[in-house]
Structure 1
């Protein structure tokens, strides 16, 4: 049985941040609350995931989460520049990148494996101010929906290995996709469908 990482609760944004979120295409995604993880459903989907084809093999046939699903469920942009970069897998490289980006570096206690703990990034976010208009404008030029979908595929491929015991985000995308495609499994929505669909 896989365990699921849970996202942090929503923060409240001031008007200036909301304006930047709308401009960059992240506003709708920022309004999505926490979706309670359905471990049994996630495990059933992972068991039916085939890493070679990036599809679920169900009794009714093969199916996959698509870019259109991505755009409708989370509301992230799916056109624009690709989100690419080097994979940083050691302490020294991450430390140098943090110094370059944030002018501050995390301590070794702020690392988990080859990544930085989200608590450090959240604390950093409280102290930083978004003031560089050029960087804010460039954010909206990227296909964040494609990156999120690729991350989901990678998480499913990793979780389908026999030695993996957990799966990370974006579980909201996976669960809402399953509830749309298999509506008899879905919880009863509190409100009529709205955009993005994960807000139901």
Structure 2
């Protein structure tokens, strides 16, 4: 940021989003077959792959409303799909607000582990990255 401008801090992200600051970092390899991971976690494979991005529109079409007679496997697939839509639409939105990165799927599959990650730090880092992209496009 140019001198004299203010920026968002980690504390502000933690306060505004209610996320804990002192958790484990989100680190894993990005060298996966994302279609296989998508099939394993969600039970469906996207028709086309946009790099390492999953279409939010496709997710919304596949997981519209949980059936009343849903079995446990269906619930276990709908929950991550819904969380991926929230992540892609709010926390880690890209400039089109139409895609979510596949990498987040691996962090939300195990709900016991999901709460142990420093989501606030990742959110802030993502925001800084998007601010950088927006600034570079405006020059």
TM-score (norm 2): 0.58
Q: Distance in 2 between matches of 1:96 and 1:70?
A: 33
Shift of 1:156: 0.9
1:122 aligned counterpart, secondary structure = helix
CA RMSD of aligned residues (A): 3.0
Provide the aligned length of Structure 1 versus Structure 2.
Answer: 101
Q: Extract unaligned runs of 5+ from structure 1.
A: 1-55, 165-200
State the match for 1:105 in structure 2: 45
Which residue of 2 is the match for residue 57 of structure 1?
A: 2
Cα distance in 1 between the residues matched to 2:59 and 2:29: 19
1:1-200 alignment to 2 at 5 Å? 56-57=1-2, 61-87=4-30, 93-108=33-48, 111-112=49-50, 114-125=52-63, 126=65, 128-130=74-76, 135-162=110-137
Ranges in structure 2 where 5+ consecutive residues have no aligned partner = 67-73, 80-108
Q: Which ranges of 4 or more aligned residues in structure 1 deviate by more than 3 Å?
A: 111-114, 123-128
SS in structure 1 at match of 2:28: coil
Between Structure 1 and Structure 2, which shows a larger proportion of strand residues?
1
Alpha-carbon separation, structure 2, partners of 1:122 and 1:84: 27
Determine which structure has more spread, i.e. the larger CA radius of gyration: 1
Structure 1 CA distance for aligned equivalents of residues 18 and 10 of structure 2: 11
Distance in 1 (alpha carbons) for counterparts of 2:128 and 2:13: 12
More helix by share: 2
Q: Which digits, 9 at most, give the CA deviation of each residue in 1:49-72, with x for residues without a partner?
A: xxxxxxx325xx243211101011
TM-score computed with the length of structure 1 as normaliser = 0.42
